[in-house]
Structure 1
Amino acid sequence: MTRTPCARRPATSGQRWTTVCAVVVAAAIASNLAAGWQADHRHVLAAGERLPLESRVHNGQPHEVLVPGTAVDLQVGRPVREMDQGLVDLGADRDWSDTAAVRADDGAGLVPVSWAARPVNNSAGQEVGEQQIDIRLVAGNTRLELARGTGRELATEASGRETSSLVAVDAGDELAVEVTFDGVTQRLDVATGELDRGAAQGLAARPPRPDAPSPDSRPCQLRTDGAWRPHARAATLTTGPLVPYAWDDELGWADEGRHWSGVAVRPSLTSYVVDRAGTPRTVTDVGDLSLRLDGQAPERTEGLEGGESYSSARSGYAVFAVDDDATPRELSAVRPLRLEGATTPTTVRVAGRYPLGRG
């Protein structure tokens, strides 16, 4: 027996209205869920991304890293999963109605980092103004630049608000901060607080400096054993203190276990000499001023060149390389004087040896 198919009854208007409402409600729920998800994930930082902070870090130990002419102050906080949005500078992207925290992406953490730079007097008057300083956060094998510039530029920048950042790093990465100056990198281990200074060690632990040959700035007499000699007090050498330091603007960093020692000198004008009878003889030319520290020649000099007597009285400077555990004992000076006429001698040498004592 063949069954006649039943015809489907048309939907009533009430059923149609119920279906429409269900669709609208479902769409609204989906839209709210999507909006909530977007709001909750609006400020999510993946590893390597960062945002500026509104203020400096409040947790983590402060550390100081010295470079020539500048001290870099560092503070690295503990990694966190999220941070209150009010502590983060979102700039023009901020929505004051949005209170969702800034979060780290899956498998990442947020590290607050602060730095500052200030001038210090640790460079023996060397010109450090044009030397670049690089500050980097190291997370595992990733290096993230925090700041770059001269000491003067970084000190100026540190007066602003861009010196604290919230940096996202891969969870579990070992953290360090590196500060590089003229090819030497100092590395701060964040977990232990240990600072590997490398060749910059001398900036933090300079050896005691000995007294200058003339510590009270009275001129020291240069003498000669020849028949012709400068008139009393007419050939003198005034020196400043012998100053140890780690970095020189021309020589760079001192080798490991050594430091530079610089001394400023000023010879007097020597325009004539006399014999034992007091007969004068004009000095026509003055040779280079030769300085030795415990018999060692300087690594570099300034203003010690000879010339006419009036130009040979200018100030000069000499830099020596000294072992960290050495005690300089003696500074010696020699300078030839060329005399007028053909009478022998045509040249005499004036010299002095000055013992150094500990200050």
Structure 2
Amino acid sequence: MSVLIKVFIGSVVGVLTVGLLGCGCLYPFTPQRPNLYSDVYKANDLRYSGKYEAAIAEYEQALEKLPRSPADTKVINVSFPTFLKYHIAFCYAKLAEAEGDVSLYVKAEAAARESYKTAILSRDQADVLYLWGYILFKRGRYAEARAKFEELINAAPQSEFRGRFLEEAMYALGKTYLELGDTTAAGQILVQLETMIHGADSYFHTAGVMCALGKAYLELGDESAARRVFAQLEVLIEIELQDDFLGWDAEGIFAKIPYDLGKAYLELGDEAAARCVFAQLEVLLKRALQGGFVGPDAEEVYAEVLYGLGKVYLELDEEAAARRMFAMLLEHYSDSPHKTEVERLLEKQ
């Protein structure tokens, strides 16, 4: 899973890439210049493949190749370092999560701080602040994380970022208040967030935020509010089921969100609601996998959801349903780390 998806909602991976690499004229290539783009594209490929340590090396190599001369543009002298250091920070955060090495979060924070120093565009500043706040959150420095998220949100009226990113920043702030034990402030932020997303009709745009919001309400002890949000989320899922065309799933949201919703209902003791959501999830899984709509970055999510749903079905004494999920896992993700266990479970059934 994405380092950001686990605690917050979505990943900010690649946000800076579009602005800086979308136009080749930003970094003109000549035989006398090092080919910076080749290093960056290689680093991006490594990052997307989960090879974060190797990606860091490539980003750092690209950083060393940056020209430093008065003739170069501000994009090269300022924005490119922002972009490269941002992704170095992200990769260190991913490594810290994967390896459980807190010292890597220290390196991630240092890179984020350096990235912010050179960020001149409001959107770039917002991206870095969000990542920096997340890193502080993971280090347990909640007061500092809160300050970053508040700075990000307060800048919103003057900034070019809107929509999902602002919603995620609001959720991150609410989550941080929960960790600080300030339930009053957390509740106020969550209510503001719910108002912000009320009436939105885009599944991709709001589903992750809504699911996280509902679970945050549960953490706050407000079951009524959680169920209200979950009911709205079910409507969005139903809308997707009624649509003949399932869009490209780059983040695994069609798999992860319904799965998390069903699990939340089980935690509430509402098995009937959970079974209903899981039935919808099965339809979405089949359509996405059979239609080839699963993006490369979402494959791990789908594999984990298939495995997790199979295990849940076993707990619910739904052996036939569990077999369906495990069979789909082996069919589409034969290299899954759960392969041996799944094959053993299938033999026992």
Asked if TM exceeds 0.5, the reply is: no
Q: Which has the higher contact order (CA 8 A, sep 6+)?
A: 1
Q: TM-score of the superposition, structure 2-length normalised?
A: 0.22
Bigger fraction of residues in strand: 1
Bigger fraction of residues in helix: 2
Work out which of the two has the higher radius of gyration on C-alpha atoms and give 1 or 2.
1
Q: TM-score of the superposition, structure 1-length normalised?
A: 0.21
